[in-house]
Amino acid sequence: MSIPRFWREIDQRYNLKGVKCGNCGHHFFPARTMCSACRHESIGKLAPVTFSGNGTVETCSVVHNGPAGFEDQTPYVMAIIKLDEGPRITAQIVDCAPDQVGIGTRVRKVFRRINEEGDAGVIHYGYKFAVQA
């Protein structure tokens, strides 16, 4: 199997897919096999769900010295986002100036290039977030 195909076939890399507990209603991302709220009562009751991709910034930080491979993107914003359905996710905020992002900013999921790997130039894609208009 080729590397690009491997990455494409892992659906969670490109979509916000998790699970919803049929017992208590909690949502989880990434997917898990047991609800941390109602534990063993949730076994067999977790249903797959695709999240809307809309959420609110709970906290954020501007990265000025990026790690290897991300130096050319600085400064950029990393945030903890609470999705409308409840789960929190850490992601990069793109397509805006760092001072346009703060606690309470509404964001939406977007599909973007993450990085390029090695001499073969394999490009990895995934989700990031952008400020809602």
List, in sequence order, every residue forming a beta bridge with 21; answer none if it has no partner: 46
pLDDT for 25-82, tens place per residue? 999 998 999 999 898 888 899 999 999 999 999 999 999 998 887 888 899 999 999 9
Q: Please give the residue range of the domain that contains residue 73.
A: 52-131
Where residue 80 sits, what CATH number does that domain have? 2.40.50.840
**pTM of the shown model:** 0.84
The pLDDT value given to residue 112: 87
**DSSP sequence for 81-131:** EEETTS-EEEEEEESS-GGG--TT-EEEEEEEEEEEETTTTEEEEEEEEEE
5 within a domain of the structure (yes/no):
no
What are the helix and strand counts (H, E) for the chain?
Answer: 1, 8
Tell me which H or E stretch contains 3: helix 3-8
Q: Is 78 helix (H, G, I), strand (E, B) or coil?
A: strand
Let me know if residue 108 belongs to a domain.
Answer: yes
3-state DSSP assignment of residue 18: strand
What gap in Å lies between CA 108 and CA 128, rounded to an integer?
8
Q: What is the count of structural domains for the chain?
A: 1
What DSSP designation does 34 have? S
In a domain, 98, yes or no: yes
Answer whether residue 80 is part of any domain.
yes
| Model confidence band, residue 12 (pLDDT cutoffs 50, 70, 90) | low
